[in-house]
């Protein structure tokens, strides 16, 4: 008997129009559920020195709180300014105090409020905003390919030796996701639709 199968009995497919491109996508800073990694979810307090809004999917620096605070509010968080300073990323998961102020479409927290985050090494999977020119170059590549972080626009960009490599694994890309943009002139944060990458911390 020949070993050839003339049809595929286990073909993976979906019914026509059940999953359209416009119905798929991710939300920046909304972690993918994981029964193990979710136990690494932490909360910290945005430092008083932070003058701009904070949202899910931002690179942060975690600092040891003062002895006087007794760690009631968790670690002190600031927005990372250099590659060596990034200790993790903020997330929207279990952030119940985020607010939407007039003019904004994205929920934010500000100095003095608490914010959830995951540290590097937690293995959590999180969508992050990506430079549109980067996404196509990542497709089909190794999950260990190097990328860098844009500290101004809070997004993943092509690797730059001057910035350094972001210590993450690139798991997938999507060009139909929701990400946040910040207008420093008006102070407003808005949802936009476009490119994200799914990374593992």
What pLDDT, in 10s, does the model give residues 182-193?
Answer: 998 888 999 999
Residues 157-183 have pLDDT tens digits of: 999 999 999 999 999 999 999 999 999
Among candidates 175, 181, 134, which has minimal Cα distance to 158? 134
38 phi, psi to nearest 5 deg: -60, -20
Query: Parallel, antiparallel, or unpaired: how do β-strands 42-46 and 59-63 relate?
Result: unpaired
55, 29 contact by CB (below 8 A): yes
Count of alpha carbons within 13 angstroms of residue 85, beta-carbon side: 13
Residues 50-102 have pLDDT tens digits of: 999 999 999 999 998 877 766 666 889 999 999 999 999 999 998 888 998 88
* Contacting residues for 154 by C-beta, under 8 A, at least 6 apart: 57, 58, 59, 129, 180, 182
Among candidates 75, 79, 142, which has minimal Cα distance to 110? 79
Whether pLDDT at 1 is above 60: no
The single-letter DSSP state of residue 54 is: B
């Amino acid at each position: 008997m020949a070993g050839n199968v003339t049809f595929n009995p286990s073909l993976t497919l979906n019914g026509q129009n059940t999953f359209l491109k416009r119905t798929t996508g991710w939300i920046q800073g909304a972690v993918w559920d994981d029964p193990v990694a979710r136990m690494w979810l932490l909360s910290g307090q945005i430092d008083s020195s932070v003058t701009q809004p904070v949202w899910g999917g931002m690179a942060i620096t975690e600092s040891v709180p003062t002895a006087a605070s007794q760690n009631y509010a968790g670690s002190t968080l600031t927005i990372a300014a250099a590659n060596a300073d990034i200790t993790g990323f903020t997330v929207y998961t279990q952030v119940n105090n985020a607010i939407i102020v007039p003019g904004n479409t994205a929920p934010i927290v500000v100095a003095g409020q608490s914010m959830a985050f995951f540290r590097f090494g937690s293995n959590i999977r999180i969508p992050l905003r990506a430079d549109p020119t980067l996404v196509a170059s990542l497709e089909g590549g190794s999950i260990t390919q190097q990328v860098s972080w844009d500290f101004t626009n809070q997004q993943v960009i092509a690797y730059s030796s001057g910035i350094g490599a972001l210590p993450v694994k690139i798991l997938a890309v999507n060009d139909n996701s929701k990400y946040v943009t910040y207008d420093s002139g008006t102070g407003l944060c808005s949802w936009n639709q476009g490119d994200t990458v799914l990374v593992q911390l």
